[in-house]
Structure 1
Amino acid sequence: MDGLKLHDLRCFDAVATQGSFQAAAGVLHRTHPSVFAAVARLEQQLGLTLFDRGGYRVSLTEEGRLFHGRAQLALRDFEHLQDYAGQLASGEETVLRIVVGDVCPRPKVLGLLSRFFAERPRTRLHLDYEAVSGPVERLMDGEADLVFHRANPSDPHLERIDINEVAFVPVVAPGFLPFDLGPDITPEAMRPFTQCVIRDTARKPSPENFFIIDGAHSCSVPDHMMKKELVLHGLAWGHLPQWLIADELRDGRLVSIAGRHIPGRMETVAAVRRRDKPHGPVAEALWLHLRVEGAL
């Protein structure tokens, strides 16, 4: 196997695919004798007879058929390696690291990303999920190129494109509360009942209080889908994004308890990146794509 040439493998693949040395020579823009010699050299190096040359058209032997399958994989890997090297040489990113936060309206954001990456198959999307203060921490620690989450608009280290307004609604399952529902329910009245909250995934959690009632028993979950299930099953109450529970509110499986004492909250979800860090050409193209197609 020493000295195996890529050229010989390509000639072998062309003959196997095209069915003749002449056709392979035409596809490769080589002469018939050079293709014939390349295949013969490969057979000699491998110690295998790859083609049956006894008929009108050459055909693969059983060994040739098995070897051809592996050879095609090797040639494909080499082409990917060449593309990868060219991408590195051009400065184009091979991976973009994006974090989707817990408040993010996923259908809209995933649609934006799908349309962008469909036109850039050479750059791989590495997508992660973080909650509460986790997304911005990942961004500031250099572990993400872009996050979709809430962010402090006055932070000079960050720039943002507002993507969506998300209303958070305090909800319960029917029959969860032993008293009549109305706009005057107070935090004190809700204190005896288990409140479901999202766990902060940050290594250094934020001290900010997101809807938590002091003194109430709480249970924590990793995301809003799990939180929704707990509330639906009457295990807790909590604030949920309206886009996630629109059907349940409409058909009565969930009931809003929003009022003047527990008003809910409006959050702005934005695409957020570091202002003080350089961005590659694919990241810049994605930023422009979000500014054109995703901005409020």
Structure 2
Amino acid sequence: MLRTTLEQWRMFKAVVDHGSFNQAAVIIHKSQSTIHHAVHKLEEVLGVSLLTTKGRKTALTEAGELMLRRANYLLEEAAKLEAIAGTLGSGIETKINIAVDAAFPHEELYKVLETVSTQYPLLRIELIETTLSGTNELIAQGLAEIGLSTFPMTNGLNEEICQINFIAVAYPEHTLHTTGHKLKYEDLKSHRQIVIRDSAMNTNTDSGWLGAEQRWTVSHLRTSIDLVSKGFGFAWLPEPSIRPLLEEGLLRPLNSRARFKAYRSILFKL
């Protein structure tokens, strides 16, 4: 059984924070004698001296410094516990799973998450990165509450957030850049295409042109970008994700006669 109380530790901290028993009494609306008694009881139970008087100021002893650090942690955790209870009582979620297609502009996502976390500091956010129909599957299975998807969802609220331009690109020295003419789909068939696997387990979906005779299929957008930027093939990649590489000249858009661009609507499910 605990021999001390949170209220005793709160009064002890108040004396330290405000420099005297008198000031602490004013700030926390307790009588000076009540605070004196609480701190004295702490010292008696613990068997150590927590405070000492230096002139008109009350100061911590060495043991008091150590106990204050522990008390601060204890009081902070107690405050969090009460805040969580308040959150639950008001119906606000304490944890939320967000399924996000890897093509979504992450810088924009991070800004939104920071705003949400500032408003709800006790909310735990878990991001699940997906490709193609992976987000829709997680929503359907109840494994995510919010989805940023490349395909419309069959139930719930769908809201278009943005359109993302997918650009056919290759390494600057790739032979596709040396043909001297605008490329057709036929020109691409004999070159290696890097494609990303659908992360859904039960409803795999193909998207875009997949006509190359040789394809390397990878699980992550980052891997696809890495392979293309090292000259191992060409791919359609989301422009926001490769913008720095395009600006640095590490990737170049293919000179295409055909429209080698794809647009994906990113939709919101709640």
State if a TM-score over 0.5 links the two structures.
yes
Q: Deviations over 1:172-203 (max 9, x none)?
A: 1233226505334324x433332212232222
What are the residue-to-residue correspondences of 1:282-293 with 2, within 5 Å?
none
Q: Matches of 2:199 and 2:261 in 1, distance apart?
A: 23
SS in 1 for 2:158: strand
Q: Deviations over 1:73-120 (max 9, x none)?
A: 100100010111111111111122212212212223333333343333
Say which of 206, 226, 239 aligns to 2:236. Answer: 239
What are the residue-to-residue correspondences of 1:47-62 with 2, within 5 Å?
47-53=47-53, 55-62=55-62
Aligned to 1:124: 124
Post-superposition offset of 1:262: 6.2
- TM-score under structure 1 length normalisation: 0.81
SS in 2 for 1:129: strand
Say which of 198, 201, 204 aligns to 1:200. Answer: 198
Task: Decide which moves more: 21-30 or 112-121.
Answer: 112-121
SS in 1 for 2:210: coil
- 1:167 and 2:146 aligned: no
Post-superposition offset of 1:160: 1.3
Task: Decide which moves more: 68-77 or 213-222.
Answer: 213-222
Question: 5+ unaligned residues in a row in structure 1: which ranges?
Answer: 274-296
- TM-score under structure 2 length normalisation: 0.89
SS in 2 for 1:3: coil
- 1:24 and 2:21 aligned: no
Q: Matches of 1:116 and 1:106 in 2, distance apart?
A: 15
Q: Matches of 1:54 and 1:171 in 2, distance apart?
A: 73
Q: Which letter does structure 2 place at the counterpart of 1:110?
A: Y
Question: 5+ unaligned residues in a row in structure 2: which ranges?
Answer: none
Q: Matches of 2:104 and 2:49 in 1, distance apart?
A: 59
Contact 1:105 1:164 in 2 (8 A): no
Contact 2:229 2:251 in 1 (8 A): yes
Contact 1:149 1:270 in 2 (8 A): yes
Question: What is the percent sequence identity of the aligned residues?
Answer: 25
Post-superposition offset of 1:221: 4.2
Task: Decide which moves more: 241-250 or 67-76.
Answer: 241-250
Contact 1:258 1:264 in 2 (8 A): no
Q: Which letter does structure 2 place at the counterpart of 1:161?
A: E
Post-superposition offset of 1:236: 1.5
What are the residue-to-residue correspondences of 1:36-185 with 2, within 5 Å?
36-53=36-53, 55-152=55-152, 155=154, 157-177=155-175, 180=179, 182-185=181-184
Q: Matches of 1:109 and 1:253 in 2, distance apart?
A: 25
SS in 2 for 1:139: helix
Q: CA RMSD in A?
A: 2.4
Aligned to 1:284: none
Q: Deviations over 1:238-282 (max 9, x none)?
A: 101122334544665433336455633111112223xxxxxxxxx
Q: Matches of 1:215 and 1:269 in 2, distance apart?
A: 30
Contact 2:98 2:147 in 1 (8 A): yes
Cα distance change of structure 1 residues 168 and 73 upon mapping to structure 2, 3 Å threshold: same
Task: Decide which moves more: 256-265 or 11-20.
Answer: 256-265
Q: Matches of 2:50 and 2:31 in 1, distance apart?
A: 20
Q: Deviations over 1:202-243 (max 9, x none)?
A: 2224143443226423141412x3322221210111101122
Post-superposition offset of 1:52: 1.8
SS in 2 for 1:200: coil
Contact 1:170 1:262 in 2 (8 A): no
